[in-house]
């Protein structure tokens, strides 16, 4: 280490334990398994609210009834851009591209506003649904103004049929649960970009790039294949022990912040229990979960490893009929609410985020002769 680095404050890999800001948007209480949006518990928001209300709550701090949200139409330029992507393109790349084109067309200026946040959050489901069709050689579907809410609109624009009320409600509940989660990597990315006084679309494009990484974007599709491989509850114990003996991780368990049961997993489990058509899969998931939690506790007595949000995300997204390769981008649709709320909050701080770094390279020296 150089003398300069030795004299500087200590470095914390991954910024673990470093307080990088203040927020009044959400409290993530990992010790007690609590998640509050503007003070309201996630379970109450899921049971009594809609995603439209939650978005307004995150953006403005106010809880209001009668809030409506309608999907935005697809601009021609975005359709042209999506049409030029290879059909095997990762859905996160397609969504990121669509928002980049949309942002260029909108000419958004700093600081971000609630109106901009609304427009972007209502455009994203249209963009992802369009990609879900364009890649299959199908034409995108115009939003149906009679359909209330972005979740129903997304399912309709993806498949071309109006979803049943239960599926729309289940996806809306998922959007609420996934809307916001403090200073995670993608939200922090969005805040860094906003701190330079760049525009909201640029911040969200960066956030999608951060969310795409497998350490952040989550593992619900892998939960599906894990349960598929296990097949029946009587095979769970042997399968799990063999996987852990090979040094693998159980998908849908463990979290950087939560030491208690992830409150989002609890909320989504309730949603999944209320859905029709998920009963067999859910029964297997619940029984495998019991075995997994027991084995993880035996193997890690000092490190609580509980169920995380991804475990029951898989149940809900599978129940509403989404293809697993759209799961991460569907998560991004919900997280637009939190990202854009943080951008608005960051603009209020209006201070460039620019941390220090320890230089650990060569000391000053002269170039070799010649």
- Give catalytic residue positions: 255, 310
How many CB atoms are closer than 10 A to CB 309?
Answer: 25
Cα separation, 286 vs 292, in Å, equals 10
Chain center to CA of 32: 22
Residue 57 makes contact with ligand ACO by CB under 6 A: no
Residue 138 CA to residue 186 CA, distance in Å, equals 31
Query: Dihedral angle at the C-alpha atoms of 73, 327, 194, 75, nearest 10 degrees?
Result: -20
Q: Tokens representing 156?
A: 């309709």
Under rule CB under 6 A, residue 95 binds ligand ACO = no
Among 256, 259, 283, 294, the residue binding ligand ACO under the rule CB under 6 A is 256
Q: Which of residues 197-216 bind ligand ACO (CB under 6 A)?
A: 216
The correct pick among 208, 309, 322, 341 for binding ligand ACO (CB under 6 A) is 309
CB of 238 to ligand ACO, least distance (A): 16
Contact positions with ligand ACO (CB under 6 A) in 235-254: 244, 249-254
Q: How far apart are alpha carbons 22 and 35 in whole angstroms?
A: 16
Interface with ligand ACO in residues 261-300 (CB under 6 A): 300
User: Which residue number, 209 or 254, has a Cβ lying nearer to ligand ACO?
Assistant: 254
Burial of 60 (0-12, 13-18, 19+ CB in 10 A): middle
Number of residues that bind ligand ACO (CB under 6 A): 18
Given the complex with ligand ACO, which of 143 and 252 has the nearer CB atom? Answer: 252
32 neighbors 260 (Cβ within 8 angstroms): yes
Please, which residue, 123 or 258, has the CB nearer to ligand ACO?
258
Q: Which is nearer to ligand ACO, 126 or 226 (CB)?
A: 226
219 binds ligand ACO (CB under 6 A): yes
Q: Is 321 left (phi over 0), alpha (psi -120 to 50) or beta?
A: left
Closer by beta carbon to ligand ACO, 191 or else 255? 255
Give residues in contact with ligand ACO (CB under 6 A): 216, 218-219, 244, 249-256, 300, 303, 305, 308-310
């Amino acid at each position: 280490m150089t003398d300069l680095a030795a004299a500087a404050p200590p470095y914390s890999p991954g910024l673990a334990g470093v307080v990088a800001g203040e927020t009044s948007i959400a409290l993530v209480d990992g010790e007690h398994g609590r998640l509050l949006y503007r003070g309201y518990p996630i379970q109450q928001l899921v049971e009594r609210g809609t995603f439209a209300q939650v978005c307004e709550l995150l953006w403005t701090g106010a809880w209001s009834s009668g809030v409506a949200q309608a999907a935005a139409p697809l601009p021609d330029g975005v359709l042209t851009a999506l049409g030029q992507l290879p059909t095997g393109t990762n859905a996160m790349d397609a969504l990121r591209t669509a928002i980049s084109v949309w942002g260029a067309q909108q000419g958004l200026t700093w600081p971000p506003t609630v109106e901009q946040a609304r427009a972007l959050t209502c455009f994203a489901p249209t963009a992802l649904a369009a990609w879900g069709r364009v890649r299959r050689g199908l034409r995108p579907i115009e939003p149906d103004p009679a359909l209330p809410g972005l979740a129903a609109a997304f399912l309709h624009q993806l498949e071309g049929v109006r979803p049943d009320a239960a599926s729309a409600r289940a996806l809306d509940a998922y959007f609420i649960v996934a809307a916001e989660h403090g200073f995670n990597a993608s939200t922090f990315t969005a805040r860094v970009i906003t701190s330079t006084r760049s525009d909201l679309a640029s911040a969200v494009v960066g956030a999608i790039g951060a969310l795409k990484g497998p350490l952040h974007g989550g593992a619900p599709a892998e939960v599906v294949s894990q349960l598929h491989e296990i097949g029946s509850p009587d095979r769970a114990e042997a399968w799990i022990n063999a996987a852990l003996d090979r040094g693998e991780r159980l998908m849908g368990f463990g979290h950087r912040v939560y030491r208690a049961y992830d409150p989002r997993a609890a909320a989504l489990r309730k949603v999944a229990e209320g859905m029709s058509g998920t009963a067999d899969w859910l029964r297997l998931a619940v029984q495998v979960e019991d075995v997994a939690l027991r084995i993880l506790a035996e193997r890690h007595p000092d490190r609580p490893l509980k169920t995380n949000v991804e475990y029951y995300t898989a149940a809900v997204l599978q129940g509403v009929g989404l293809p697993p390769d759209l799961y991460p981008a569907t998560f991004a649709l919900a997280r637009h609410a939190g990202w854009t709320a943080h951008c608005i909050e960051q603009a209020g701080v209006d201070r460039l985020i620019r941390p220090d770094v320890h230089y650990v390279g060569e000391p000053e020296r002269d170039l070799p002769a010649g």
